[in-house]
C-alpha cells in the first residue's frame, strides 16, 4: 500500500471525526499523521514490517501505530467504516467545496440530511441554506460556484499526482527488462496539462506480438500493487482503476508503429484532427498505425513522430504545443518557438521557511536549492495580513532580511536574496511599509484575501499594485487552486499592458495546485513582451523540484528562455528585475564559486 493511500484513509477519518463533532485533539492527531506520511520518503509498509520503527516517527504513538498497521493489513480502518455507517461517504465531497468546512457540513447534514454536492447545490439554489446559522445569500452563491468547480474537477487529477503514479507504473513495468521495448506516457500527461483525466501509457513490445508474451506482460502489469479494479484486458489494451480512483490505459504496440501511436495517443484530439485533415489534403491518411498513402494505403512513415511530421511538411512539434492553437501553421513556416527547458532555470524566486508557513529553515532551503543547481533563490515569507500563515510584520521582516543576508554570507555556491511575498490589500496597497520594501532584494506581491471582488475592482486593485514602485513580481496572479477554486476575474489584458509599462514580471507559479499564470495567459504576456518568472512557492525542501511543472506550463505558453527572468545569470537577473526606489546599486558582484 502506498503512503498516500494510508494518508488518505487517515485524513478521511479525521474529517469524518470533525464532522461528527469529535474534540479537536482527536482529529488533529489523525490529520498530522496523514501529513507526516505524505511527506515521508520511506515506505510506511516497510517501516511497519520492521516492528518498532513506526513509533519512532514524530507524533506517532502506540495507538496511531496500531491504526496504521490495521490499515496496512486490511486496506481500511474500522473507525472510518464505523463513521461511514453514520454518514454517507459522499459527505466528504462537501469538504472539497471551497466555502464549506466540517462544522458547516455537520449543520447541513443535521438540518437537511444532505450529503452530496448535488443536494447541497439544490438547497443553495432554492435559497434554503440561508436559514442555517452562519449562512447567508452570499454563501449560497459561493456554494453554487464551488459546486460548478467540483463538477468540472470530478475524475481529474493534478499533474503531480499523475506524474508520480506514471513513474511508479513505468518503474514497475520496466521490471520486465528486455521482454519489452519502451514504456512511456502519452495523452494529456505528455502534453503536460495541469490536470489529467486518465493515464495513457504506451508499451512497445520487444518483438512481434505473440500470445505468450502479451500474456506474460499483462500478468506482470496487473500485479501492480494498488490496482482496485480491472476494466479491460485485451491483447492491444489493458485498462484498470487504481485505489486513488485514477484510471490507466496501457496500450501494447509493435515497434514499427511507435511514432504513429505516440502521436495519436498524445493528442490533443484537436491537434490530431487538424493533422489528419492536412494529411488528407496531401494525399495521405493518418491513424495510430502509420501515415499511409490514400490511394493504396502504403505506409510512408510510422516509427518516429519526427519522420511523420516531416512527411507532412512540418518541423517536430513539442507535445506541450499540441493543442491546435497555431502550432501546425508555425511548424509549417519554421517559426516554432525554441521552448524554455528545465536546465535553463537558474533560480527560484518564491519560497517560504519556518518563519511563516514553511517546514524548513533558510539554510535547509538554500542547500536543497543548491542540490538542484540553482545559482540564486529568494526567500519570500508571507506578510502580516496572512495571519493564518503566520505572516511577518515590518519588524519580523527586517529581522528575516538580516537572517537571510547572514545565511548568504555563510553558504557558498548560491546567492540568497531577501524577499517577501507581500500581500496586496483590498485597496491595492501593499502590506508592508515603504521603508521595509526598500530594503528587500526581491518584492513579490500577491492576493490572498477578498477574492470575490467584482472584476472592475479587482482590476483596479492589481493595477494599483503594479503601479506601486516597489512591486517587482506579481505572484500567482489569478489565484486559482486547481480542482478547488476558480481564478478570480479581472481584465488580464489591462493588467499585462500595465506590467509591460512598469517592467513588472508575472509569475508562472509552479506549485502543482496553482500553475498560475496558465498557458493562455503566459502566451498573452509573451506577446506583449512582459517578463515571466517561474517559481515554486515551496513550503518545504521537497517542493523545490516542482519547478519542472512551472517550466512545462511555460512551455505550453510558448515561452522561451529569453522571456524568463530567472533563466538569467545572477548579475543580469538583478539588473533586469524592475529597479525600485531605495535599492542600493549592486555591490561589486562577489563570485560565488560552487
Ligand atoms: P485527459 O485524459 O482527459 O486528461 O485527456 P487526454 O488528451 O489524455 O485524452 P484521452 O485520454 O481521452 O485520449 C488520449 C489521446 O488519444 C487524446 O489526446 C487523443 C487520442 N484520442 C483518444 N480518443 C480519440 C478520438 O476519439 N479521436 C481522436 N482524434 N483522438 C482520440
Ligand atoms: Ca488521458
Ligand atoms: Ca485514455
Ligand atoms: Zn501566495
* HEC per residue, 249-302: EEEEECHHHHHHHHHHHHCCHHHHHHHHHHHHHCCEEECCCCEEECCCCCEEEC
- pTM (2 d.p.): 0.86
* Together in a domain, 161 and 109: no
Average pLDDT over residues 44-55: 82
Is residue 528 over pLDDT 90?
A: yes
- Cβ–ligand 1 distance for 154 under 6 Å, the answer no
Higher pLDDT, 209 or 157: 157
Residue whose CA is closest, atom 2 of ligand 1?
Answer: 197
* Together in a domain, 322 and 188: no
- Cβ–ligand 1 distance for 188 under 6 Å, the answer yes
Number of domains, the chain = 4
- The three grid cell numbers given for residue 483, joined into one nine-digit string: 480542482
- Contact status, residue 41 vs residue 14, Cβ threshold 8 Å: no
Distance, CA of 218 to CA of 239 (rounded, Å): 10
Domain-embedded: residue 370: yes
Tell me the best of 231, 251, 269 to mutate to test the pocket of ligand 1, counting ligand atoms within 8 Å of each CB and taking the most.
269
* Together in a domain, 425 and 508: yes
- Contact status, residue 328 vs residue 545, Cβ threshold 8 Å: no
- The three grid cell numbers given for residue 380, joined into one nine-digit string: 519570500
The rounded Cα 564 to chain-centroid distance in angstroms is 19
- Cβ–ligand 1 distance for 273 under 6 Å, the answer yes
Encode pLDDT of 2-16 as tens digits. Answer: 888 899 999 999 999
CB atoms within 10 A of CB 338: 9
Per-residue pLDDT, 150 = 86
Helix pair 62-74, 3-19: axis angle to 10 deg: 120
Domain-embedded: residue 594: no
Q: Give the length of the chain.
A: 594
- The three grid cell numbers given for residue 35, joined into one nine-digit string: 501529513
- Cβ–ligand 1 distance for 152 under 6 Å, the answer no
Tell me the best of 200, 241, 268 to mutate to test the pocket of ligand 1, counting ligand atoms within 8 Å of each CB and taking the most.
200
Domain-embedded: residue 460: yes
- Cβ–ligand 1 distance for 265 under 6 Å, the answer yes
Is residue 99 over pLDDT 90?
A: no
- Cβ–ligand 1 distance for 187 under 6 Å, the answer yes
* Together in a domain, 226 and 280: no
Per-residue pLDDT, 50 = 76
- The continuous run of DSSP H or E covering 215 comes out as helix 211-222
Per-residue pLDDT, 594 = 46
Average pLDDT, the chain: 94
Is residue 54 over pLDDT 90?
A: no
Give distance in angstroms: CA of 247 to centre of ligand 2: 9
Give distance in angstroms: CA of 327 to centre of ligand 1: 18
- Cβ–ligand 1 distance for 274 under 6 Å, the answer no
Per-residue pLDDT, 591 = 56
Residue whose CA is closest, atom 19 of ligand 1?
Answer: 267
Identify the top-confidence range among 91-105, 259-273, 570-584.
Answer: 259-273
- The continuous run of DSSP H or E covering 415 comes out as strand 415-423
Per-residue pLDDT, 360 = 96
* Together in a domain, 62 and 105: yes
Residue whose CA is closest, atom 8 of ligand 1?
Answer: 187
Residue 355: CATH number of its domain: 3.20.20.140
Average pLDDT over residues 397-407: 97
Q: Which of 411, 359, 407 is nearest to 542 (CA)?
A: 359
Tell me the best of 188, 253, 262, 556 to mutate to test the pocket of ligand 1, counting ligand atoms within 8 Å of each CB and taking the most.
188
- Cβ–ligand 1 distance for 419 under 6 Å, the answer no
* Together in a domain, 379 and 267: no
Residue 591 burial (C-beta neighbours within 10 Å; 0-12, 13-18, 19+): exposed
- Cβ–ligand 1 distance for 268 under 6 Å, the answer yes
* Together in a domain, 300 and 401: no
Residue 148: CATH number of its domain: 1.10.150.110
Provide the residues around ligand 3 (an ion) whose CB is within 5 A: 198, 200, 249
Distance, CA of 217 to CA of 221 (rounded, Å): 6
Residue whose CA is closest, atom 25 of ligand 1?
Answer: 269
Residue whose CA is closest, atom 9 of ligand 1?
Answer: 187
* Together in a domain, 320 and 367: no
Residue 289: CATH number of its domain: 3.30.210.10
Please state, for a pLDDT cut of 90, what percent of the chain lies above it: 82
Average pLDDT over residues 151-174: 93
Average pLDDT over residues 113-127: 93
- Cβ–ligand 1 distance for 230 under 6 Å, the answer no
* Together in a domain, 349 and 321: no
* Domain range enclosing 448: 342-576
- Contact status, residue 508 vs residue 349, Cβ threshold 8 Å: no
Is residue 588 over pLDDT 90?
A: no
Encode pLDDT of 289-330 as tens digits. Answer: 999 999 999 999 999 999 999 999 999 999 999 999 999 999
Per-residue pLDDT, 244 = 86
Of the pLDDT bands very low, low, confident and very high (cuts 50, 70, 90), residue 52 is low
- Cβ–ligand 1 distance for 504 under 6 Å, the answer no
- Cβ–ligand 1 distance for 267 under 6 Å, the answer yes
Residue 243: CATH number of its domain: 3.30.460.10
* Together in a domain, 76 and 100: yes
Encode pLDDT of 450-501 as tens digits. Answer: 998 999 999 999 999 999 999 999 999 999 999 888 899 999 999 999 999 9
Of the pLDDT bands very low, low, confident and very high (cuts 50, 70, 90), residue 438 is very high
* Together in a domain, 108 and 180: no
**253, 282, 315 - which closes a domain:** 253
**132, 153, 174 - which closes a domain:** 153
Domain-embedded: residue 242: yes
Is residue 194 over pLDDT 80?
A: yes
**253, 273, 296 - which closes a domain:** 253
Query: Which ligand places an atom closest to the C-alpha of 249?
Result: 3
Query: Which ligand places an atom closest to the C-alpha of 431?
Result: 4
- Cβ–ligand 1 distance for 197 under 6 Å, the answer yes
Amino acid at each position: 500500500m502506498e503512503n498516500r493511500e494510508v494518508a488518505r484513509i487517515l485524513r478521511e477519518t479525521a474529517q469524518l471525526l470533525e464532522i461528527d463533532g469529535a474534540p479537536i485533539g482527536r482529529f488533529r492527531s489523525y490529520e498530522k499523521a496523514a501529513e507526516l506520511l505524505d511527506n515521508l520518503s520511506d515506505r510506511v509498509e516497510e517501516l511497519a514490517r520492521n516492528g518498532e520503527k513506526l513509533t519512532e516517527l514524530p507524533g506517532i504513538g502506540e495507538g496511531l501505530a496500531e491504526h496504521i498497521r490495521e490499515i496496512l493489513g486490511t486496506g481500511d480502518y474500522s473507525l472510518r467504516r464505523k463513521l461511514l455507517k453514520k454518514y454517507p461517504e459522499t459527505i466528504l465531497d462537501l469538504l472539497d467545496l471551497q466555502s464549506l468546512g466540517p462544522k458547516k457540513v455537520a449543520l447541513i447534514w443535521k438540518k437537511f440530511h444532505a450529503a452530496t454536492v448535488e443536494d447541497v447545490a439544490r438547497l443553495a439554489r432554492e435559497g434554503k441554506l440561508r436559514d442555517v446559522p452562519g449562512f447567508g445569500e452570499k454563501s449560497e452563491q459561493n456554494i453554487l460556484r464551488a459546486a460548478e468547480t467540483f463538477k468540472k474537477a470530478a475524475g481529474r487529477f493534478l499533474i503531480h499526482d499523475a506524474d508520480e503514479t506514471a513513474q511508479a507504473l513505468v518503474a514497475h513495468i520496466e521490471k520486465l527488462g528486455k521482454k519489452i521495448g519502451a514504456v512511456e506516457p502519452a495523452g494529456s500527461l505528455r502534453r503536460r496539462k495541469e490536470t489529467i483525466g486518465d493515464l495513457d501509457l504506451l508499451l512497445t513490445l520487444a518483438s512481434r506480438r505473440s500470445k505468450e508474451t502479451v500474456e506474460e506482460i499483462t500478468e506482470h502489469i496487473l500485479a501492480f500493487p494498488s490496482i482496485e479494479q480491472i476494466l479491460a484486458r485485451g491483447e492491444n489494451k489493458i485498462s484498470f482503476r487504481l485505489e486513488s480512483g485514477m484510471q490507466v490505459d496501457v496500450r501494447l504496440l509493435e515497434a514499427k508503429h511507435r511514432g504513429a501511436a505516440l502521436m495519436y495517443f498524445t493528442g490533443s484530439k484537436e491537434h490530431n484532427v487538424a493533422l489528419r485533415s492536412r494529411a488528407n489534403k496531401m494525399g495521405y491518411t493518418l491513424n495510430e498505425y502509420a501515415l499511409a498513402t490514400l490511394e493504396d494505403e502504403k505506409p510512408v512513415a510510422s516509427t518516429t513522430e519526427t519522420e511523420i511530421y516531416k512527411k507532412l511538411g512540418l518541423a517536430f512539434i513539442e507535445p506541450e504545443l499540441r493543442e491546435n492553437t497555431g502550432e501546425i501553421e508555425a511548424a509549417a513556416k519554421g517559426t516554432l518557438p525554441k521552448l524554455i527547458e528545465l536546465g535553463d532555470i537558474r533560480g527560484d524566486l518564491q519560497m517560504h521557511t519556518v518563519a511563516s508557513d514553511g517546514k524548513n529553515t533558510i539554510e535547509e532551503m538554500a542547500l536543497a536549492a543548491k542540490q538542484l543547481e540553482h545559482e540564486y533563490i529568494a526567500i519570500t515569507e508571507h506578510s502580516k495580513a496572512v495571519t493564518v500563515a503566520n505572516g511577518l510584520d515590518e519588524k519580523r521582516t527586517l529581522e528575516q532580511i538580516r537572517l537571510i543576508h547572514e545565511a548568504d554570507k555563510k553558504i557558498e555556491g548560491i546567492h540568497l536574496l531577501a524577499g517577501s511575498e507581500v500581500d496586496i490589500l483590498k485597496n491595492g496597497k501593499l502590506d508592508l511599509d515603504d521603508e521595509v520594501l526598500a530594503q528587500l532584494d526581491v518584492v513579490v506581491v500577491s492576493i490572498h484575501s477578498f477574492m470575490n471582488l467584482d472584476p472592475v475592482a479587482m482590476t483596479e486593485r492589481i493595477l494599483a499594485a503594479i503601479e506601486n514602485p516597489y512591486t517587482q513580481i506579481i505572484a500567482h496572479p489569478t489565484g486559482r487552486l486547481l480542482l478547488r477554486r476558480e481564478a478570480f476575474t479581472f481584465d488580464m489584458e489591462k493588467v499585462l499592458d500595465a506590467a509591460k509599462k512598469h517592467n513588472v514580471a508575472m509569475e508562472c507559479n509552479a506549485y502543482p495546485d496553482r500553475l498560475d499564470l496558465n498557458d493562455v495567459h503566459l502566451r498573452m504576456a509573451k506577446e506583449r513582451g512582459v517578463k515571466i518568472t517561474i517559481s515554486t512557492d515551496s513550503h518545504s525542501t521537497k517542493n523545490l523540484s516542482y519547478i519542472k511543472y512551472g517550466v512545462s506550463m511555460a512551455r505550453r505558453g510558448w515561452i522561451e528562455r529569453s522571456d524568463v527572468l530567472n533563466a538569467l545569470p545572477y548579475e543580469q537577473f538583478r539588473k533586469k528585475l524592475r529597479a525600485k526606489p531605495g535599492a542600493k546599486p549592486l555591490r561589486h558582484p562577489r563570485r560565488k564559486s560552487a
